[in-house]
Amino acid sequence: MAVALDNSFFKTLPSLPEVKKEDADIAWFIYDLVHQSDRNVFELQKVETKYTKFKNALDKITTPSPGDVGNFVNILQDKLDEKLDNYPPENHTLMDIQKI
């Protein structure tokens, strides 16, 4: 099987375990647009070819590898703190409600 991909998209995939060409089930043909300044055009050029086993590649792509939960919570907390700094919540007491 052969798969042609844009280089930028391929870089977003997890690192795929490579095998020898003879042992591969998939050939990943990775392309990029390269500017030819002398003619002011872009040409599609093959950057590289990677060879993998189908099941190994599928497992790697479809199995998430979540990061550290603590880092995620810290990022969320930073975003919440930033919002609260700009838009503080309005808190009322029971006494305030009677005046309204």
Q: What is the mean pLDDT of each run of 10 residues along the chain (100 residues)?
A: 96 94 97 95 96 95 86 89 79 67
- Look at residue 44 and give its three-state secondary structure: strand
Strand ranges for the chain from DSSP E: 2-6, 26-36, 41-52
Place of tokens 């479809």: 62
Q: Domain range spanning residue 7?
A: 2-99
The answer for residues whose C-beta is within 8 angstroms of residue 48's C-beta and 6 or more apart is 30
User: According to the model, what pLDDT value does residue 97 have?
Assistant: 67
Determine the pLDDT at residue 89: 73
In terms of pTM, does the model score above 0.75? no
97 to each of 60, 92, 94, how far by Cα in Å?
Answer: 57, 7, 5
Distances (CA, A) of 6 to 29, 58, 74, 93: 9, 18, 34, 58
Pairing of strands 41-52, 26-36: antiparallel
Number of domains forming the structure of the chain:
1
Give me the pLDDT at residue 91, please: 73
| Neighbouring C-alpha atoms within 13 Å toward the C-beta of 65 | 6
